[in-house]
A and B are shown apart, each in its own frame.
Chain A
């Protein structure tokens, strides 16, 4: 039972930060299907930094992880500029742009991972091996019955993400910048009339989105997979987008959705282990989060309110 909470949380929190990233972009009026690509490229930059730093700072040095997270954020933000360029500057169809970004991300990271590995170690491997992140257990809290698992074997990044999400909620809902950002997604003409620069706000939102997705990606690489390889593209980004839609473009409900996904995933796995089923049956349980998403969307999609101007390039002359 404890394991369900521990694993569920370490899956849900990286998912949440990606979902919040997608939410920032969509709230500013830029459709973000590119979350999958952002998180992969962010993870690539983080893993590259970790691989380069490991010989310098010593293997197993935990400080590398924090540097990797920072690099992932920067890398994700840089890569998101392409999405911004297509959607904001070139007024391309934003859904198509998202798909373009995802295809490009898979190709770019696969190509440059083998190129970088050839340059570093001489073998054209398609993965970066990462150190194991340390885990810690909060004393006292972890011995609470039922929910103690939440505080057992935590990754340090879980704390970082939790703090970040609270800050991001504050930024979006309680500051002038956040209000303008939300207004850009609802009525950009009004923002323009009020004297703010719509396209600049959207650029910033897309870059925040890229940075957050990058953080989520490198956290997945450290926790779930243990290395950086093409298996980073397992659809975390899409799952995060589904969580965002299910959460009706609000950070609170989105958090809830991510927790449900995380618990469904880890619960399914533990169920499979507890029932002593052969490992082939694991695939059936891995389907659970996706089936759950579809079912939940069936019940909750009807009264959703996406941002009104999402998907439309800003045109100053339309009032």
Chain B
């Protein structure tokens, strides 16, 4: 009954997310127990790998702060990617192609700015962001255009574009920009990177993720868009009921184009934060797994821009802490994706949980009502 109240109250979405996390932890514990591992030790290792709990020992020049900053470096593009999903999702559109948009934006920025050694940091960094916004935005707008002009479902067109982008960039990287040693693309210049590397804090060698500042700014901006602006309201209205919005005079086509364009632009930012921040190179013909993780984050944050920051932290702990966990506990690090998948599974049942809770409260109220009547009659 306590839970039912919470699940129907003001903070229902928050409780659904918490419940999903708890259920996931329980499921993961069962999985780890069946493999003969201690789940508590495993969960502690996840946190240790992210620099939230100190490890037993550290190598020279690294410490808890380095791990934490590495974690934040991974967090920044994930927050942006989930914001990209949310922006389209509010208009009832599923941007499954975030991975492709990230790759295209990251590739373009790497080639145009990252390999241009002549630019100073002050010029290069804003240009990288601008290219990310423009390339991602145009890809997103193309998908929106295909949607309203030719009635091509955005899920299909984004997936087709994902493959096209993946092969196309892979071709150019293999042909022109490949590093013969690593088989990845050549690294981009430090001036163009959105992560400051080799910054000494005390005696620790740290990375400072500038992308995180952008991610939080965009989260606030998206939140503002949907709370306070007419456009945000129109996007939400189109998402709720396209026919109804059309009759009220909202230009549905323009709204679809804009929300998909925004979504792509934010995905482009995520792409540059990922490829010119977190990693420094591009693996040819590989879409970033983050594009799909962003969907779990958006779902877990129940579509709220600020909520997605916290959801991103939860998902990042599993993804980023997996390496350390794998080395200490000895479980394959693929378990991180498995846990994310289970999390997504429970989070997608959120509406059902709310529905069940509402039913339970209704039933209880009905029961009380009939008892009251019987008491009066006697």
B156 is contacted by which of A82, A100, A106, A238 (Cβ under 8 Å)?
Answer: A238
Main secondary structure of the interface of A (DSSP, over half): helix
Residue of B nearest to A89 (CB): B352
Within 8 A of B (CB), among A108-149: 108, 110-111, 114-115, 124
Partner of B163, one of A86, A235, A281, A302: A235
Query: Do A33 and B348 have beta carbons less than 8 Å apart?
Result: no
Cross-chain contact A111 with B155 (CB below 8 angstroms): no
The answer on a CB contact under 8 Å between A100 and B348 is yes
- How many chain-B residues does the 8 Å CB contact rule pick out? 42
Main secondary structure of the interface of B (DSSP, over half): helix
Contact A298 B146 (CB under 8 A): yes
Residues of A within 8 A of B349 (CB): 86, 90, 92
> How long is the Cα–Cα vector from A297 to B285 in the complex, in angstroms?
24
CA distance A91 to B353 in the complex (A): 10
Which B residues, 159 to 186, have Cβ-Cβ distances below 8 Å to chain A?
159-164, 167-168, 170-171, 174-175
A61 is an interface residue with CB less than 8 A from chain B:
no
User: Which stretch of A150-158, A221-229, A284-292 is in the interface?
Assistant: A284-292
B157 part of interface (Cβ distance < 8 Å)? yes
Q: Which residue of A lies closest to B341 (CB)?
A: A104
Are A103 and B159 within 8 A (Cβ)?
Answer: no
| Residue A245, interface by CB 8 Å | yes
Among A106, A280, A286, A290, contact of B160 (Cβ-Cβ < 8 Å): A290
> Which residues of B lie under 8 Å from residue A95 when comparing CB positions?
94, 155
Closest to B335 in A: A111
How far apart sit A181 and B360, CA to CA, in the bound complex (Å)? 33
Q: Which residues of B contact A33 (CB under 8 A)?
A: 155
B340 contacts A by Cβ under 8 Å: yes
A96 contacts partner chain B, Cβ-Cβ < 8 Å: yes
Complex Cα–Cα for A90 and B285 (A): 36
**Sample (21) of A-B pairs whose CB atoms are under 8 Å apart:** A91-B351, A95-B94, A99-B295, A102-B292, A103-B341, A106-B337, A108-B338, A111-B334, A114-B334, A242-B159, A245-B153, A280-B174, A280-B175, A281-B171, A283-B168, A283-B285, A284-B168, A293-B156, A294-B161, A297-B146, A298-B146
Interface positions of B (Cβ within 8 A of A):
94, 96, 146, 150-153, 155-157, 159-164, 167-168, 170-171, 174-175, 285, 292, 295-296, 299, 332, 334-335, 337-338, 340-342, 344-345, 348-349, 351-352, 355
